[in-house]
Amino acid sequence: MIGGLIALKIDPSVMDQLGRGKRTVLVTGTNGKSTTTRMTTAALGSLGEVATQADGANMDAGIVAALSTHLDAPLAAIEVDELHLPHVHDALQPAAVVLLNLSRDQLDRVGEINMIERKLRAGLAQHPDTVVIANCDDVLVTSIAYDHPNVVWVAAGSGWAMDATSCPRSGEPILWEGAHWRSTGTDFQRPEPDWWLDGEKLCGPDGLRLPLQIALPGRANRGNAAQAVAAAVALGAEPATAATATGTVREIAGRYRTVQVGDHTARLLLAKNPAGWQEALSMIEPTAAGLVIAVNGQVPDGEDLSWLWDVRFEHFEGVQVVAAGERATDLAVRLTYAGVEHTLVPDPLRAIASCPAGQVEVLANYTAFRDLNRDLEGADGMNEPIAGTTESTGARS
């Protein structure tokens, strides 16, 4: 980000200048920004060179740095922190904005979720010509885009509804009826999707049905791919080509890669807020020899770890669980109340070593994940990727 920081000091309008002449897609949301941006970049690739962040730096300096290294690219797929979206939208005048999901993040850094929804809704209202690719399964995202004149609705799924039990517009309860939801007492309800998933198929306008084979695990990543395809098609990409391109994405800043650590085959997963943790926990292989959960509480993680009590840890029977990280004791208390048998080994590398030989799932929050990747790189003979697995370390997604 250093180049972007210096450029903004020299000329605060540099982002506006770098965005001129580019057809840009902005990608934002609480979870999945880096993944969806990478998939959107791949899906747009058939239309020309695409400027994007290589490392997920999604605030002003990182965005300027990315654009300045791709000056001649006619296209851009830019990941944007949700708090920065309104002014980045003003600067870059994007052709499309992808709204993935909105749920509570680190409260001490980000703030209250309905306040963010109102800010994003007001910002979007200033740009009626932008195509908005919005997840209609997410109540808060739907509220942001509901009044916009140019929306492509995608049923990308929503595995976390705890932050949208009431209508963000009226305060009335949200009633769920299968996949459909509506606000009781108002006309605010789930729109009919233009794109949706049907098993292994991605369905779209005019009876379109495409195979969607992605390399990344989890239902959330299929939803990310669906929104990436919809965004690329909105900019003119051929649907089948865009869908195939999303399947080429295998490296997302260290996430999902598998490495050999002594006698252990460790798969690394990243999560940073309750919704992300719940999704990542659903990916845990139940037959794994061990599960290491590493939690730090540094500023990028959020120093307030009360969110641990919003995550369901109760379903790990038969897996040896190890609490690790700088805040391993806080995690151990939560696991105790969840009735999860566990051991306490603060150092993540030692925690992996304490598990039985075989496959170990490692789930870490931001700085714990970053530090573990650094330690793996510094351990001789311990960081060899396993053949046929994803390889990729990371900024906030």
Question: Same structural domain for residues 323 and 174?
Answer: no
Question: Same structural domain for residues 226 and 310?
Answer: no
Residue ranges making up the domain that contains 15: 2-246
Domain membership of residue 395 (yes or no) is: no
Question: Same structural domain for residues 224 and 276?
Answer: no
- Give the domain-ending residue among 203, 219, 246: 246
How confident is the model at residue 379, as a pLDDT?
64
Sheet containing strand 50-51, edge to edge, reads 50-51, 75-79, 23-28, 96-99, 131-135, 151-155, 195-198, 201-203, 209-211
Please answer whether residues 234 and 95 qualify as being in contact, where contact means their C-beta atoms are separated by less than 8 angstroms: yes
- Give the domain-ending residue among 213, 246, 279: 246
Question: Same structural domain for residues 99 and 12?
Answer: yes
Please answer whether residues 118 and 136 qualify as being in contact, where contact means their C-beta atoms are separated by less than 8 angstroms: no
If you average pLDDT over residues 246-274, what whole number do you get? 86
Neighbours of 319 (CB within 10 A): 20
How confident is the model at residue 257, as a pLDDT?
85
Question: Same structural domain for residues 6 and 151?
Answer: yes
C-alpha span between 121 and 333 (Å, rounded): 39
Mean pLDDT of the chain, nearest integer: 88
Closest Cα partner for 214 from 231, 238, 197? 197
Is the model's pLDDT at 386 over the cut of 70? Answer: no
Question: Same structural domain for residues 102 and 167?
Answer: yes
Count the domains in the chain. 2
Three-state SS sequence of the chain? CHHHHHHHHHCCCHHHHHHCCCEEEEEECCCCHHHHHHHHHHHHHHHCCEECCCCCCCCHHHHHHHHHCCCCCCEEEEECCHHHHHHHHHHHCCCEEEECCCCCCCCCCCCCHHHHHHHHHHHHHCCCCCEEEEECCCHHHHHHHCCCCCEEEEECCCCCCCCCCECCCCCCEEEEECCEEEECCCCCECCCCCEEEECCEEECHHHCEEECCCCCCCHHHHHHHHHHHHHHHHCCCCHHHHHHHHCCCCCECCECCEEEECCEEEEEEECCCHHHHHHHHHCCCCCCCEEEEECCCCCCCCCCCHHHHHCCCCCCCCCEEEEECCCHHHHHHHHHHCCCCEEECCCHHHHHHCCCCEEEEEEECHHHHHHHHHHHHCCCCCCEECCCCCCCCCCCC
Question: Same structural domain for residues 156 and 110?
Answer: yes
C-alpha span between 230 and 164 (Å, rounded): 25
Question: Same structural domain for residues 342 and 220?
Answer: no
* Four-point Cα dihedral 211, 196, 115, 299, nearest 10: -20
The amino acid at 239: P
Domain membership of residue 390 (yes or no) is: no
Question: Same structural domain for residues 280 and 379?
Answer: yes
Please answer whether residues 320 and 288 qualify as being in contact, where contact means their C-beta atoms are separated by less than 8 angstroms: no
Is pLDDT larger for residue 107 or for residue 65? 65
Question: Same structural domain for residues 27 and 160?
Answer: yes
Residue 351 binned pLDDT confidence (cut-offs 50, 70, 90):
very high
C-alpha span between 114 and 3 (Å, rounded): 34
> The whole model's pTM is what?
0.84
Is the model's pLDDT at 278 over the cut of 90? Answer: no
Percent of the chain with pLDDT over 70: 92
* Four-point Cα dihedral 182, 187, 193, 197, nearest 10: 0
If you average pLDDT over residues 119-130, what whole number do you get? 96
Phi and psi (nearest 5°) for 48?
145, 180
Q: What is the CATH number of the domain that holds 145?
A: 3.40.1190.10
How confident is the model at residue 273, as a pLDDT?
82
Three-state SS sequence of 105-150? CCCCCCCCHHHHHHHHHHHHHCCCCCEEEEECCCHHHHHHHCCCCC
Is the model's pLDDT at 397 over the cut of 60? Answer: no
Q: Which residues pair with 50 in a beta bridge?
A: 75
Is the model's pLDDT at 271 over the cut of 90? Answer: no
Domain membership of residue 397 (yes or no) is: no
Domain membership of residue 367 (yes or no) is: yes
Is the model's pLDDT at 391 over the cut of 70? Answer: no
Question: Same structural domain for residues 221 and 290?
Answer: no
